Structure 1
Amino acid sequence: MCARTFTNFLIVYFAFISVLNVKGENVLVTEVFEIVINPSMFNWTYEGDPPDQFVYQPSLLDAPDLPSWINYVYSNKHHVGYLYGVPPEKEQHIILEIIALNRNTYETKRVVLPIYITQKRYPAKYEVQLKIDNLNVEDMFDVERMERLKDVFRKQLWKDSDEDLYVTFLASAIELGARLPLNPKEGEGVVLRLGSQSPLSMELQELQEEVKPLWKRVSCPRDYKRTTVERFFRDAGFVLDWCAFRLLDDNSSAMQHSQEKVENPSSLLEQKLPDNKWVGIARKDVPQRNYTHEFLVTILVPMFIMTLLAIILSLILCFHHEGIDDPLSEEFFDNLYHICTDYFSSKEMVHVPIGEMTQYATINRVTYTLRSLSNQRDFACLSPEMYAGVRSHTNSPTSTISRGVHCRPSPPPYVKPKFSAEF
Structure 2
Amino acid sequence: MEGPEPLRLWALAALVLGVARATVPEHRVLPDLRVSAETGAVFVHELERELFLEAFSGSEDDDAPVTFRAHLWDHPDLPRWLRFIQRDPGQPGFLYGCPLAPELGTHSIQVLAYNRHTFATVSQRLLVSVTPAPGGDAPFQAEFLVGNRNVEELLPEAAREMFLQASAGVWGRGDLHVINVTSALDRGGRVPLPIEGRREGVYVQVGSHSPFSPCLASAVSPLSRSRCHRGQRPLASCYDTFAPDFSIRWCNLTLLQVWPSPTTPGPVWGPGVLGEGGDFEPPTPVVAREFLPSFLVTLLVPLAVAALLCLLLGHLMCCRREGVEKRDLQTSDLQLLHHSSIHGDSRELRLMATSRDVPRPLSTLPMFNVRTGQRSDPMGNLRDGARAPLLPH
Q: Determine if the TM-score, normalized by the shorter chain, exceeds 0.5.
A: yes
Match in the other structure for 1:103 = 116
Please tell me whether the aligned partners of residues 85 and 170 of structure 1 are also in contact (alpha carbons under 8 angstroms). yes
Please tell me whether the aligned partners of residues 227 and 233 of structure 2 are also in contact (alpha carbons under 8 angstroms). no
The match for 2:94 among 82, 89, 94 is 82
Q: Which amino acid aligns with 2:193?
A: L
Query: Partners of 1:32 and 1:194 in 2: how far apart?
Result: 10
Match in the other structure for 2:225 = 212
Q: SS of 2:154's equivalent?
A: helix
1:70 lines up with 2:82 in the alignment: yes
1:31 lines up with 2:41 in the alignment: yes
TM-score (norm 1): 0.52
Residues 7/180 of structure 1: CA separation in 2 closer, same or farther (3 Å cut): same
1:15 lines up with 2:16 in the alignment: no
The match for 1:139 among 124, 140, 153 is 153
Query: Partners of 1:69 and 1:36 in 2: how far apart?
Result: 16
Match in the other structure for 2:170 = 157
Match in the other structure for 2:129 = 116
Query: Partners of 1:82 and 1:216 in 2: how far apart?
Result: 36
Within 5 A, what are the aligned runs for 1:351-370? none
1:192 lines up with 2:204 in the alignment: yes
The match for 1:230 among 230, 239, 242 is 239
Identity %: 25
Query: Partners of 1:86 and 1:39 in 2: how far apart?
Result: 24
- Give the CA deviation at 1:211: 3.0
Residues 7/150 of structure 1: CA separation in 2 closer, same or farther (3 Å cut): same
Q: Which amino acid aligns with 1:207?
A: A
Match in the other structure for 1:387 = none
Match in the other structure for 2:188 = 177
Residues 195/214 of structure 1: CA separation in 2 closer, same or farther (3 Å cut): farther
Please tell me whether the aligned partners of residues 33 and 125 of structure 2 are also in contact (alpha carbons under 8 angstroms). no
Q: SS of 1:175's equivalent?
A: helix
Match in the other structure for 1:249 = 257
- Give the CA deviation at 1:88: 2.4
Post-superposition CA distance 1:259-279 (Å, at most 9, x none): xxxxxxxxxxxxxxxxxxxxx
- Give the CA deviation at 1:8: 6.3
Query: Partners of 2:238 and 2:48 in 1: how far apart?
Result: 38
Residues 11/27 of structure 1: CA separation in 2 closer, same or farther (3 Å cut): farther
Query: Partners of 2:171 and 2:34 in 1: how far apart?
Result: 34
Please tell me whether the aligned partners of residues 160 and 178 of structure 2 are also in contact (alpha carbons under 8 angstroms). no
Within 5 A, what are the aligned runs for 1:305-316? none
- Give the CA deviation at 1:176: 0.6
Q: SS of 1:195's equivalent?
A: strand
Q: Which amino acid aligns with 2:241?
A: F
Q: Which amino acid aligns with 2:141?
A: E
- Give the CA deviation at 1:141: 1.9
The match for 1:41 among 41, 51, 54 is 51
- Give the CA deviation at 1:112: 1.0
- Give the CA deviation at 1:7: 6.2
The structure where helix makes up a greater share of residues is 1
Q: SS of 1:234's equivalent?
A: coil
- Give the CA deviation at 1:25: 1.1
- Give the CA deviation at 1:20: 0.9
Query: Partners of 1:194 and 1:74 in 2: how far apart?
Result: 24
Please tell me whether the aligned partners of residues 211 and 245 of structure 1 are also in contact (alpha carbons under 8 angstroms). no
Q: SS of 2:86's equivalent?
A: strand
Query: Partners of 2:133 and 2:22 in 1: how far apart?
Result: 46
Query: Partners of 2:194 and 2:120 in 1: how far apart?
Result: 37
TM-score (norm 2): 0.55
Within 5 A, what are the aligned runs for 1:248-287? 248-251=256-259
Post-superposition CA distance 1:68-105 (Å, at most 9, x none): 21111113497111110111212211111111111111
Query: Partners of 1:144 and 1:58 in 2: how far apart?
Result: 24
- Give the CA deviation at 1:38: 2.0
Residues 142/112 of structure 1: CA separation in 2 closer, same or farther (3 Å cut): closer
Post-superposition CA distance 1:361-389 (Å, at most 9, x none): xxxxxxxxxxxxxxxxxxxxxxxxxxxxx
Q: Which amino acid aligns with 2:159?
A: R
- Give the CA deviation at 1:139: 0.7
Residues 102/202 of structure 1: CA separation in 2 closer, same or farther (3 Å cut): same
Q: Which amino acid aligns with 1:244?
A: N
Unmatched segments (≥5 aa) in structure 1: 254-423
Query: Partners of 2:32 and 2:144 in 1: how far apart?
Result: 35
Query: Partners of 1:75 and 1:241 in 2: how far apart?
Result: 24
Residues 193/29 of structure 1: CA separation in 2 closer, same or farther (3 Å cut): same
- Give the CA deviation at 1:130: 0.6
Query: Partners of 1:77 and 1:243 in 2: how far apart?
Result: 35
Provide the alpha-carbon RMSD of the alignment.
Answer: 3.0
Unmatched segments (≥5 aa) in structure 2: 1-11, 262-393
Q: SS of 2:127's equivalent?
A: strand
- Give the CA deviation at 1:181: 2.2
- Give the CA deviation at 1:62: 1.1
Q: SS of 1:213's equivalent?
A: helix
Q: Which amino acid aligns with 1:109?
A: V
Match in the other structure for 1:292 = none
Post-superposition CA distance 1:27-76 (Å, at most 9, x none): 111111111112233334885484x6111111111111212211111134
- Give the CA deviation at 1:183: 4.6
